[in-house]
Structure 1
Amino acid sequence: MRIRSLGTRFAIPCVAIGLILSGCSADSGVTPGSATVGSTNDINPHDVADLREGGNLRLVLSAFPETFNYLQIDGGTNNTGDVIEPVLPSPYTSDAAGELAINHDYFTDIQLTGTDPQQVTYTINPKAVWSDGTPITWEDLRSQAAALSGRDPAFLVSSTSGFERVEKVERGVDDRQAIVTFAQPYAEWQGQFSPLYPKATTESAAAFNDRDRSGLAVSAGPFQVSDIDRTQSRITLSRNPSWWGATPKLDTITFSVLDSSAWLPAIQNNELDIAYMSGIENVTAAKQAPGVVLRRTPEPSWSHITFNGAPGSLLEDPQLRIAISKAIDRQGIVNAAQNGVVDDPKTLNNHIFVLGQKGYQDNSAPISFDPDAAAKMLDDLGWKLNGEVREKDGRRLELRDVMYQQDGWVQVAQIVQQNLAAVGVKLNIQTVPGTGLFKDVIDPGNFELAQFSWGGSVLPLTALPQIYAYDPNNLQGNKARIGTPELNALIERTMSELDPDKAIEMANQADQMIFAEGYSLPLYQASGTYAARENLANYGAFGLASADYTKVGFLK
């Protein structure tokens, strides 16, 4: 589930933001909200003095993490991200407006100390230790930078996170200071080392890929992983006895893996303390449950359809992808999905920025809904109708759409299926449980269309090299296997631009190229609607903010 913006981390694929479609919101008792990110959030803020000591925060996952190493290709998902956020260091926190501040639990100071070459100095909190008692030092940063540099392909990374631009990481005035020097400038350097792992996890490819496969070896947050019960599909976090910061109010945090259809019943039966609610029926039913309130803040997460354009694939031709895109009524999907939940449902028309975020502009003209134009393009490309389905060179234009096994995703796919049938394209719908969807299906490229969501952050440019740059030998987050040398070069220049306004302008130029390639169809961004226990404080719909797990708890 996507509880919050993950602050400065890179974009992560999510499976459970598909919304249950609804035709009518009459008499729901729910006032529609916005889907445009802003400067406020809804977390029931309280002074910690108002909270009772102890308690267990019950959260939900859509699937068991494939690995607890968020940096590894199998771990860069929202399920892993949710579990490790309370247990690992991050250099920055973000507030409701998306403004960054140094996370002083881990770093006393972080400064951009040079621009030619770019240099960043990290001064580590002298109290900061890993849960095994080992101090957090500059060597942890050096080792992680080397692992994510991309120089050794044996490290199967989710994203290089700009470390491919780092020339060296050196010891500063002592072991508690790291000086990072860049060979090339990196615009979003504040997103690096988030999260930070110990050097034991990153010092070799074998450790990086497998040390935290079955559990987290060490941690360094207010909580630590204390129990992993695969039989019950449950992960428990408990207070970290080595934690040096403010004592958490909670005793434990428990993650349960549940099918999305079970989230509403679990809220109604007081088995969860908070869960994302999708569609007006679910939102209405949750609002009516005793002791439950709605917490709502739009967040930088969005649903989309990604095409598989790998060399030799059915959709290798970008013009074919554009033709199919133009046949799909995105606004119709959004109207159906967010009716009654959002006051003015709008399509998301940018791959980098979300509505309300600085830099957002509509770049979607190449994929504007026009079924007549789509049919003509298909004809011109040689895909001729033979009965109800088009064919070319004896091959039928028959596509497989894969997605998380959730009603909302299926219903979106059914609309797409109807849209494509109208222009002679057959769509087959395949659902997959959350566990294995990426590792076994999407990452290997076993699809023509894939529906899932990206969870973004306050540093949106990081998505460009992670998702939209194309290197066939190092795909990172490029599930589509689509890209061009020209786009790669523009992404490189964008990520090297230290002037934020110029970087935004260049990012939009890149987005125009991404749309022209027929990379994917952005659908809608998440409304950020959660059902929560009314006595749960300092936790809820975070929007752009990060959570402070030392302040989360239940009212007295």
Structure 2
Amino acid sequence: MTTATPGRRLRRAAIPLLALTLALGGCGTDPTIDTAPSDIGATSDINPKERDEVAEGGNLRLAIPNFPPTFNSSHIDADGYVSEVVGWTLPGTLNSDAAGNLAVDNNYYTSIELTGTDPQRIVYTINPKAVWSDGSPITWEDLRAQVDALNGRDVAYKVRATQAYSSVGTVERGVDDRQAIVTFAEHYAEWKGLFNPLYPKQVNQTPQAFEDLYRNDMPLSAGPFMITDINRPEQRITLSRNPKWWGETPKLDNVTYSILDASAQLSALQNNELDAVEPLSTVDDIKIALNTPGVQVRRAPANSFTHITFNGAPGSIMADPKLRIAVSKGIDRQAIATAVQNGLVTDPKPLNNHLFLVGQTGYQDNAQSVSFDPAAAGRMLDELGWKLDGEFRKKDGRVLEIRDAIPQNETQVRIATIVQQNLAAIGVKLLIEPNGSNFFTGVIDPGNFDIAQFAWSKSIFPLGALPQIYAYDPANKLSNFGRIGSPELNTLIKEIVAELDPEKALELANKADTIIFESGFSLPIVQSAGAVGARENLANFGAFGLSSADYTKIGFIK
């Protein structure tokens, strides 16, 4: 594999987020705002500068909407904001350019080689300079401990994904402690996603350590930065240069994350209290950013999408897949796409694939089974015994009433309102239930919803979402929050992730995606347009698209 400079950590798994970069309707296309294509993988927009153009020192001021529920990004409680913070602090194997081309991160590994396919074997040679923040070396034992924790064989580890790790047979010492030989028990196509990021063996040694050691802080890290202060009363997380870092000296002295509700972040950027805000959630936000002195808007489609998840667990009103399909056919996703992205992208369209984004190799429209057809939806509801009785439908005296759990933010409220209007037209009553900071841990993970809206921040390895989200094991649901699946789909997913022929894997993945749609699993809405407000003098930071970031080069122009 080729090499590259250190970068914003790639993820092997998808992570749930509260919202995406979306634009509310009603604004129209403003002549001062250039619409952009929504295809992923075309570009990044980060104000690129060479190291000698960036000043030494400085504090980068950013914000996230809530304190991370854990700093262990492999834990089921982790959200996308966890990865945002810990990405500065942890090792990974790879970096990516704007087109999604991958290369080894030589700060951590001198080489990563696929040395055989029968059995599949990868040799990881760790950079001899690489150490944890206490000075201890990064060794093959860290890789082995992570496999042992994340392979799914011990369900006491509360992991959100097991893909790739569940296919590993052994992790052995190589020529010395700085080399790991990973041998797979079964083929795994996206093996490059392993160890992104890598945690120290201490956090993975026992289920209790996995649960508690990184719950409230990060005792060990190994990036160019490390967390040096977690101030809960003042709602702030501070990262500083890691004195044990062996690579290029970072330009910044510090990175400070304020815990700030998304609705207040743009005002903080205007008031020079933040240096960047991601995402800009509406066209009006973009106008405000453009009219703020010293601020510019950087744009590149991001690797994420918003969707509606259905709760198919036994006892849920949505447990019947035919009812889920009927409800899906009553939702006008094109109307939602137009409403939330008008003026932001050139031609707003709904996303019609669970696995691939528009512009990504493998993307095709598999959403025919849930195409908007309110007349057909009404007929299906009649056949299921849900008959119109006044304004809404009833069955056995029960009103067809669905609870829609959403994060408390403007974009998701807007989407829910459109869905509510759509469903009312076919006699389905939708109750919109906004939620606060415990949305994932208090609502989504325990399944306290009928339908739910949130976003998936995707991995650059798209097939990994299949075992993580769409396979289903009642004993270990991972990120299948809707508890929907089948043995047949599980079998197909195993075949896909073990397929080493890329074209065959894509073909099978789209077959699986069609099945996922036909099961009424979830409804993709739109992919992110990727708008970031940033100070004009902020270099090497902004709308990354598929690319990694070089944490050592981020800073302010001289």
> When the two structures are superposed, what TM-score results if normalisation uses the length of structure 1?
0.98
2:410 counterpart residue number: 407
Question: Is the 2:167–2:187 Cα contact (8 Å) retained in structure 1?
Answer: yes
1:48-67 CA deviation, whole Å, 9 max, x = no partner? Answer: 10111111111111211000
Where 2:495 maps in the other structure, the secondary structure is helix
- Structure 2 distance, partners of 1:18, 1:166, is 37
2:260 counterpart residue number: 258
1:84 counterpart = 2:64? no
- Structure 2 distance, partners of 1:364, 1:5, is 33
1:515 counterpart residue number: 517
Please state how far the C-alpha of 1:6 moved relative to its aligned partner. Answer: 5.3
The aligned amino acid for 1:483 is G
Counterpart of 2:289 (choices 249, 271, 286) is 286
Counterpart of 1:167 (choices 162, 166, 169) is 169
Residue identity over aligned pairs, in percent, reads 58
1:533 counterpart residue number: 535
2:466 counterpart residue number: 464
1:106-130 CA deviation, whole Å, 9 max, x = no partner? Answer: 0000011110111111000000000
- Structure 1 distance, partners of 2:30, 2:163, is 47
Question: Is the 1:297–1:542 Cα contact (8 Å) retained in structure 2?
Answer: yes
1:139 counterpart residue number: 141
CA RMSD of the aligned region, Å? Answer: 1.1
- Structure 1 distance, partners of 2:290, 2:41, is 23
Please state how far the C-alpha of 1:38 moved relative to its aligned partner. Answer: 2.7
Question: Is the 2:423–2:430 Cα contact (8 Å) retained in structure 1?
Answer: yes
Please state how far the C-alpha of 1:394 moved relative to its aligned partner. Answer: 2.6
1:500 counterpart = 2:502? yes
- Structure 1 distance, partners of 2:272, 2:88, is 23
2:341 counterpart residue number: 338
Where 1:348 maps in the other structure, the secondary structure is coil
Please state how far the C-alpha of 1:20 moved relative to its aligned partner. Answer: 4.5
1:313 counterpart = 2:319? no
Please state how far the C-alpha of 1:431 moved relative to its aligned partner. Answer: 0.9
The aligned amino acid for 2:366 is N
Question: Is the 1:300–1:544 Cα contact (8 Å) retained in structure 2?
Answer: yes
- Structure 1 distance, partners of 2:9, 2:391, is 45
Where 2:238 maps in the other structure, the secondary structure is strand
Counterpart of 1:473 (choices 465, 472, 475) is 475
1:300 counterpart = 2:303? yes
2:557 counterpart residue number: 555
The aligned amino acid for 2:330 is A
Counterpart of 2:235 (choices 233, 236, 249) is 233
**Please, which moves more after superposition, 106-115 or 11-20?**
11-20
Change (3 A) 1:408 1:18: farther
Please state how far the C-alpha of 1:446 moved relative to its aligned partner. Answer: 0.1
Question: Is the 1:114–1:120 Cα contact (8 Å) retained in structure 2?
Answer: yes
The aligned amino acid for 2:381 is L
1:139-192 CA deviation, whole Å, 9 max, x = no partner? Answer: 000010010011111000011132111111000000000001111100111001
Question: Is the 1:8–1:92 Cα contact (8 Å) retained in structure 2?
Answer: no
2:70 counterpart residue number: 67
1:150 counterpart residue number: 152
Please state how far the C-alpha of 1:25 moved relative to its aligned partner. Answer: 2.3
Question: Is the 2:13–2:465 Cα contact (8 Å) retained in structure 1?
Answer: yes
Query: What is the number of residues matched between the two proteins?
Result: 551
- Structure 2 distance, partners of 1:540, 1:299, is 11
Question: Is the 1:297–1:528 Cα contact (8 Å) retained in structure 2?
Answer: yes
Please state how far the C-alpha of 1:258 moved relative to its aligned partner. Answer: 1.3
| Runs of 4+ deviating beyond 6 Å | none
2:3 counterpart residue number: none
Question: Is the 1:306–1:449 Cα contact (8 Å) retained in structure 2?
Answer: yes
1:516-539 CA deviation, whole Å, 9 max, x = no partner? Answer: 001111000000111110000011
- Structure 1 distance, partners of 2:190, 2:77, is 24
Unmatched tracts of structure 1, length 5 or more: none
Question: Is the 1:297–1:529 Cα contact (8 Å) retained in structure 2?
Answer: yes
- Structure 2 distance, partners of 1:167, 1:456, is 26
2:16 counterpart residue number: 13
- Structure 2 distance, partners of 1:272, 1:93, is 27
- Structure 1 distance, partners of 2:546, 2:352, is 20
1:120 counterpart = 2:122? yes
Where 1:70 maps in the other structure, the secondary structure is coil
Where 1:80 maps in the other structure, the secondary structure is helix
- Structure 1 distance, partners of 2:248, 2:288, is 37
- Structure 1 distance, partners of 2:268, 2:321, is 44
- Structure 2 distance, partners of 1:509, 1:437, is 32
- Structure 2 distance, partners of 1:389, 1:257, is 42
Question: Is the 2:309–2:521 Cα contact (8 Å) retained in structure 1?
Answer: yes
- Structure 2 distance, partners of 1:68, 1:298, is 27
Question: Is the 1:306–1:521 Cα contact (8 Å) retained in structure 2?
Answer: yes
2:110 counterpart residue number: 108
1:219 counterpart residue number: 221
**Please, which moves more after superposition, 392-401 or 512-521?**
392-401
The aligned amino acid for 1:110 is I
Unmatched tracts of structure 2, length 5 or more: 1-6
1:24 counterpart residue number: 27
Please state how far the C-alpha of 1:199 moved relative to its aligned partner. Answer: 0.6
1:456-475 CA deviation, whole Å, 9 max, x = no partner? Answer: 13211111110100011111
Question: Is the 1:267–1:273 Cα contact (8 Å) retained in structure 2?
Answer: yes
Question: Is the 1:22–1:281 Cα contact (8 Å) retained in structure 2?
Answer: no
- Structure 1 distance, partners of 2:488, 2:551, is 43
Please state how far the C-alpha of 1:432 moved relative to its aligned partner. Answer: 1.1
Please state how far the C-alpha of 1:341 moved relative to its aligned partner. Answer: 0.7
Question: Is the 2:472–2:480 Cα contact (8 Å) retained in structure 1?
Answer: yes
- Structure 1 distance, partners of 2:307, 2:140, is 39
The aligned amino acid for 1:384 is K
Please state how far the C-alpha of 1:279 moved relative to its aligned partner. Answer: 1.6
Change (3 A) 1:234 1:148: same
1:225-276 CA deviation, whole Å, 9 max, x = no partner? Answer: 0010111211110000000000000000111121111121111111111111
Question: Is the 2:23–2:344 Cα contact (8 Å) retained in structure 1?
Answer: no
1:452 counterpart = 2:454? yes
- Structure 1 distance, partners of 2:198, 2:180, is 13
1:325 counterpart = 2:325? no
- Structure 2 distance, partners of 1:5, 1:253, is 14
Question: Is the 1:400–1:429 Cα contact (8 Å) retained in structure 2?
Answer: yes
- Structure 2 distance, partners of 1:5, 1:530, is 16
- Structure 2 distance, partners of 1:301, 1:417, is 24
Question: Is the 1:5–1:299 Cα contact (8 Å) retained in structure 2?
Answer: no
The aligned amino acid for 1:522 is P
Where 2:317 maps in the other structure, the secondary structure is coil
1:413-462 CA deviation, whole Å, 9 max, x = no partner? Answer: 000000000111111111112x2110110000000111000011321111
Change (3 A) 1:51 1:18: closer
The aligned amino acid for 1:459 is F
Please state how far the C-alpha of 1:11 moved relative to its aligned partner. Answer: 0.8
- Structure 2 distance, partners of 1:353, 1:26, is 28
1:386 counterpart residue number: 389
